[in-house]
Amino acid sequence: MRWHCAKTIFCLGLLLCVGLYQAHAQQAPAAKQAPGTHPVSRKLFDARNSNGDNHLTIDEFALPLPAAQRPAAQREYRLLDRDKDSKLSFDEFRNAARIIPYNERGFITDPLSKIIDAEIRKYDENISKWDSDDNGELSLAELGKSSFFLVFDRPFLTRRGATYFLTKTPNGSWMDRNTNARLSRDEVRYALEVSFGMRRWQGELLRTKSGRIHNWALFRHVDENRNESVGRFEYINRADDKDKQTAETNFDQADTDKSLALSFAEWCAIDHKQVEPFWIFLDRDTDLDGKVSPDELRKGTPEGQAAVAKHIFPGFDLDKDGFLSLDEFFVTPLVDQIYQWHVPIQDGNGDDKLSREEFIYEGERKFPVAGGLLALYFDRYDINNDGVLTHDEFEFNTPRPQSSLYRMRADGTDLELLVNHTTLGRGFIGSPDMSPDGKYVAFDFTPVEGISLDARRTRIWILTLEGERAGTLRNFAAGSQPDWSWDGTHIAYTVGADNLSNAAEGIWVLKVDGSKSWHVAPRLNDPRWSPDGRLLLCMSGSGVSRRLFLVDVESFEQRQVMPQLRVLGKPDWEPQGQRVAVPILANGNCGLRLVDVRNEDDTGAELWKTKFDVESSVDRSRINWSLDGKELVFSKTESGRSELHRVAVTSPAEPKSVRASTAHEDVTGIWSRNREHVIFTSTQPPEELAELKSTFRVTIEATN
């Protein structure tokens, strides 16, 4: 085996740093400590060491505690006795994290360091095959030939290679620390520690010799502007429950250089910003048997980590005994909080599976991710070893740009699936509208391409609800946002600018029998027929910049109405009246208001309002007025979830939910003709609705 000396001051410093770390990782049991060393630990130890033999028996360890606490102490003793000799040395005793102050803690062999040691042994065994110039270091060509770099960043195999790891950047190279375009053994070890999440690529250790873990995930969460420091405002504004009341004082104490920003080192000095895996393990082990069962893990895991805990078994149970030992528990994302593991990974191509390249956290960041650790976790989650993760192996999100059409009674009972999102090919059903006679419902369908909606191919379909042709789906027109005229003879709709039919963009009107169509207005969208059939109430813009226009369907004349209104969503006309129900933003509130657009009076009646924020508005819903004019149905959105509500037009009562269990990311509803049913689209998949009573039989009508 060939060895070499560092050639620069940097390498010498690095060698010293790594050497010290390895010394911790390999240290033998220490000799008796010098007087005055670890005074608190020594005092606590000596008080228990009744026979003076400098070792503690299990009874001596638990003796100072009340009888009720001794079983827990005896369990802790067995875990601290790492060499299993039934005696606790002073060094082993110093690992008792619950009673020993952090600055006097002993050393716990980190299971991840064993993995890194194994990788280094592979390196030592094979370097002679790769190092063609026999200088003890790997050049770019030699590293590429070795493929050893794969362990550092396996999730990026198709996007990165050996070149990446030796590339110089403005901040240096995270692997080639001295930027000499070669890798030494010490640099390889350093890179492995970065890859397995034992240290940041900038150099600071993330896992300490005593088993503590610096909460890097929380640091990055609080560091909102991503400048590698936590400013005073960031710290106070994002304070967690442990320091919410004393955040200002805690920050000022931690800010030792008085720069009004905490470096990562200053952050790590804050005691409650550290993760104590040993403590967490003891808390989970409620039956005091020194191991954690699946039931203990499930019950003891905080709600925010429940998704992470769900699939820890069986993959992290390496000895397959049905429990997690202390060492097995130490190498789980529940304690290794360098990433926000509880934030679901996104299925990038929408195939309901997670590949290795998709199994990555914060991949958009410029610093290297812990590729080795992610690869380790991926393999443990991949129970059937098929190279992908499914939902029963790991918790992840498949973006669902898809929606189905449902029907239920107005009281929320008898939930029925009308059209599944897969009936017309995978896609999104939206903008339902009922024919005046109640026999048909029109809606638009947008196909999905990968994880995105392909709006160029959006089409309007008509579903027959009654009669001998009930269940027939008719392909009506290329467009979206259909609205049935009050006499049932025409449908107005929107055609997008990038449609594949080459139709002019804007509002169109088409006779239901398909015999005549005409372009009414460019650059407007979402038409709603006036009760007299002469006008269309249309919209322009998006977000809180929507504007209302009235368009004459014969002369095509258009004029803006209520320019002072900040419209949030899509309004609807009052049956046989002149008012419209409009979702608006006013005075910091979002809500529903009834206004007379022809009289330009925007003061109208206010049916409902709530404090506005970007996640609490009604802009996802097309307001729908029942034919008898008595009630509105709309989507009330809170924290990103839409829920159908109904509100009486003539009553001061608050809106009430139609059926809370059908709430999801995007929900839009309409009344049936007699107000006995609500028909709605929802992104809630049918398989997640256990209360689904029936499924409508649907047949797609053949087209010429």
Partners of residue 508 on adjacent β-strands: 493, 519
Judgement on whether residues 420 and 306 belong to the same structural domain of the protein: no
Q: Which of 142-146, 214-218, 526-530 has the lowest mean pLDDT?
A: 142-146
DSSP-H helix ranges across 36-102: 39-48, 58-62, 70-80, 90-93
Structural domain tally of the chain? 4
Judgement on whether residues 654 and 557 belong to the same structural domain of the protein: yes
pLDDT at 370: 78
Residue 79: give the domain boundaries.
Answer: 28-104
pLDDT at 163: 65
Q: CA torsion, points 299, 301, 304, 310, in degrees to nearest 10?
A: -80
Q: Is pLDDT above 60 for 357?
A: yes
pLDDT band, very low/low/confident/very high, at 20 (cuts 50, 70, 90): very low
Judgement on whether residues 360 and 391 belong to the same structural domain of the protein: yes
Q: Is pLDDT above 90 for 642?
A: no
Beta strand pairing call for 480-484 and 490-495 = antiparallel
Sign of CA dihedral 655, 665, 627, 692: negative
CATH number of the domain to which 665 belongs = 2.120.10.30
Tell whether 174 is covered by a domain.
Answer: yes
The Cα–Cα gap between 160 and 624 comes to 52
Place of tokens 């609205």: 483
Of the candidates 183, 209, 171, which has an alpha carbon nearest to the alpha carbon of residue 94? Answer: 209
Tell whether 549 is covered by a domain.
Answer: yes
Judgement on whether residues 391 and 409 belong to the same structural domain of the protein: no
Q: Is pLDDT above 50 for 665?
A: yes
Distances (CA, A) of 6 to 172, 185, 205, 290: 18, 10, 22, 45
Predicted TM-score (pTM) of this structure: 0.63
Beta strand pairing call for 535-540 and 547-552 = antiparallel
DSSP 8-state symbol, 290? S
Judgement on whether residues 258 and 380 belong to the same structural domain of the protein: yes
Q: Is pLDDT above 50 for 356?
A: yes
Beta strand pairing call for 667-671 and 677-682 = antiparallel
Q: Is pLDDT above 60 for 296?
A: yes
Mean pLDDT of 588-595: 84
DSSP E strands, 546-654: 547-552, 558-561, 566-567, 572-573, 579-586, 589-596, 601-611, 624-625, 631-638, 641-648
pLDDT at 145: 77
Query: What is the phi/psi pair of residue 420, to 5°?
Result: -75, 155
pLDDT at 607: 84
Judgement on whether residues 137 and 251 belong to the same structural domain of the protein: no
Mean pLDDT of 489-500: 93
Identify the top-confidence range among 240-254, 480-494, 552-566, 647-661.
480-494
pLDDT band, very low/low/confident/very high, at 538 (cuts 50, 70, 90): very high
Which of 195, 230, 259 delimits the end of a domain? Answer: 195
Query: Across the chain, what does the average pLDDT equal?
Result: 85
Tell whether 1 is covered by a domain.
Answer: no
The Cα–Cα gap between 54 and 65 comes to 20
Q: What is the pLDDT of residues 155-171, one digit of tens each?
A: 544 455 666 656 555 55
Tell whether 265 is covered by a domain.
Answer: yes
Beta strand pairing call for 404-409 and 396-397 = unpaired
Query: What is the phi/psi pair of residue 45, to 5°?
Result: -65, -50
pLDDT at 345: 85
pLDDT at 17: 34
Pair 339, 213: CB distance under 8 Å: no
Judgement on whether residues 679 and 536 belong to the same structural domain of the protein: yes
Judgement on whether residues 360 and 424 belong to the same structural domain of the protein: no
Find how far residue 503's CA is from the centre of its chain: 39
**What tokens does 685 get?**
């998949």
Of the candidates 470, 471, 515, which has an alpha carbon nearest to the alpha carbon of residue 491? Answer: 515
The half-sphere exposure of 10 on its side-chain side, counting CA atoms within 13 A, is 9
Q: CA torsion, points 642, 646, 649, 651, in degrees to nearest 10?
A: -120
Q: Which of 434-438, 507-511, 513-517, 614-618 has the lowest mean pLDDT?
A: 614-618
CATH number of the domain to which 46 belongs = 1.10.238.10
Which of 397, 425, 458 delimits the end of a domain? Answer: 397
The Cα–Cα gap between 66 and 703 comes to 83
Q: Is pLDDT above 90 for 366?
A: no
Q: Is pLDDT above 70 for 9?
A: no
Mean pLDDT of 271-295: 94
Tell whether 206 is covered by a domain.
Answer: no
Neighbour-count burial for 213-248, b at 16+ CB within 10 Å, e otherwise: bbbbbbbbebbeeeeebbbbebbeeebeeebeeebe
The Cα–Cα gap between 157 and 149 comes to 10
The Cα–Cα gap between 130 and 521 comes to 70
Distances (CA, A) of 112 to 109, 116, 169: 9, 6, 29
Burial of 667 by CB count in 10 Å (0-12 exposed, 13-18 middle, 19+ buried)? buried
pLDDT at 569: 82
Q: Which of 74-83, 344-353, 517-526 has the lowest mean pLDDT?
A: 344-353
CATH number of the domain to which 174 belongs = 1.10.238
Which SS3 state, helix, strand or coil, does residue 280 take? Answer: helix
Which of 373, 397, 421 delimits the end of a domain? Answer: 397
The percent of residues above 70 in pLDDT, for the chain, comes to 86
Judgement on whether residues 622 and 488 belong to the same structural domain of the protein: yes
The Cα–Cα gap between 492 and 484 comes to 7
Angle of helix 371-381 relative to helix 111-130, nearest 10 degrees, comes to 110
Judgement on whether residues 176 and 244 belong to the same structural domain of the protein: no
Q: Is pLDDT above 60 for 698?
A: yes
Beta strand pairing call for 404-409 and 416-419 = antiparallel
The Cα–Cα gap between 30 and 37 comes to 12
Q: What is the pLDDT of residues 212-248, one digit of tens each?
A: 999 998 998 899 888 889 999 999 988 877 787 899 9
Q: Is pLDDT above 50 for 275?
A: yes
The Cα–Cα gap between 338 and 359 comes to 15
pLDDT at 156: 46
Judgement on whether residues 359 and 422 belong to the same structural domain of the protein: no
The percent of residues above 90 in pLDDT, for the chain, comes to 55
Q: Is pLDDT above 60 for 3?
A: no
Q: What is the pLDDT of residues 453-488, one digit of tens each?
A: 889 999 999 999 999 999 999 999 999 999 999 999
The Cα–Cα gap between 704 and 445 comes to 20
Judgement on whether residues 355 and 253 belong to the same structural domain of the protein: yes
Pair 483, 492: CB distance under 8 Å: yes
The Cα–Cα gap between 95 and 210 comes to 7
Q: Check residues 266 and 304 and name the one with the higher pLDDT.
A: 266
Tell whether 429 is covered by a domain.
Answer: yes
Tell whether 15 is covered by a domain.
Answer: no
Tell whether 2 is covered by a domain.
Answer: no
- The three-point CA angle 367-370-374 to 5° equals 140
Pair 287, 274: CB distance under 8 Å: no
Place of tokens 């606490």: 69
The Cα–Cα gap between 451 and 87 comes to 59
Q: Is pLDDT above 90 for 651?
A: no
Of the candidates 222, 197, 221, which has an alpha carbon nearest to the alpha carbon of residue 330? Answer: 197
Mean pLDDT of 606-635: 76
pLDDT at 106: 87
Beta carbons within 10 angstroms of residue 454's beta carbon? 16
pLDDT band, very low/low/confident/very high, at 174 (cuts 50, 70, 90): low
**What tokens does 418 get?**
């009308």
Q: What is the pLDDT of residues 384-429, one digit of tens each?
A: 999 999 989 998 887 766 899 999 999 999 999 999 988 998 889 9
pLDDT at 441: 98
